[in-house]
Amino acid sequence: MGAKVGVVALQGAVGLHVEVLRDLGADPVEVRTPEQLSGIDALVLPGGESTTMSKLLDSSGLRAPVAALLADGAPVLGTCAGMILLATEVLDGRADQQSFGAIDLTVRRNAFGRQVDSFETDVVIDGLAGGPFHAVFIRAPYVETVGPSVEVLATVDDHPVLCRQGPVLAAAFHPELSGDLRLHELFMKGV
């Protein structure tokens, strides 16, 4: 069996991450309780609603063990709301939402516009062979500032939309919706 990859499944776009990971030969596990993190090699924080996920991280008891995994340097992929939850600073957030601060980014929620302004576009991803990646943005955040240790792998309108800092990969878009496995493949290379 492949690497055990936890997909935090409190809310949001969980199912397709699980499918993509399985297609890549990993062993995905939907994580709703701290016990389900046992033996996890890597983690996905999916898209959805970061304010809701933040609440559910507390009520599920997952916040502390996930923070511990991140502090241990476990590879993590955060997409959209997941990017927000990994960032060091969140603009236009709710006062009570909390992020893990695992990647040195300031992100602005819903920055590309409201639901009606969701869009798809082809982005060129640094180091990704096979041409541009068709990226689906849904009430996406964008990155306002990146810290010195952050690599920007893709931008849209000069805004970083894919960033990496060590084992942490954060995308403003939903790579699981494209039918293109390459971004998850890139993530799995680090696992």
Site residues for ligand GLN per CB under 6 A = 47-50, 80-81, 84, 109-110, 138-139
Answer whether 87's CB lies under 8 Å from 99's CB. Answer: yes
Measured from the CB atom, the residue of 72 and 77 that comes closer to ligand GLN is 77
Spell 119-141 as b/e; 16+ CB within 10 A means b.
eeeebebeebeeeebebbbbbbb
| Distance between CA atoms of residues 139 and 171, nearest Å | 13
Strand partners, 7: 30, 44
Amino acid letter, 38: S
Answer whether 77's CB lies under 8 Å from 169's CB. Answer: yes
Measured from the CB atom, the residue of 118 and 145 that comes closer to ligand GLN is 118
Amino acid letter, 6: G
Catalytic residues: 80, 174, 176
| Distance between CA atoms of residues 115 and 98, nearest Å | 23
Q: State the sign of the Cα–Cα–Cα–Cα dihedral 103, 147, 120, 95.
A: positive
Provide, rounded to whole angstroms, the least separation between the CB of residue 38 and ligand GLN.
27
End-to-end CA distance of the chain: 14
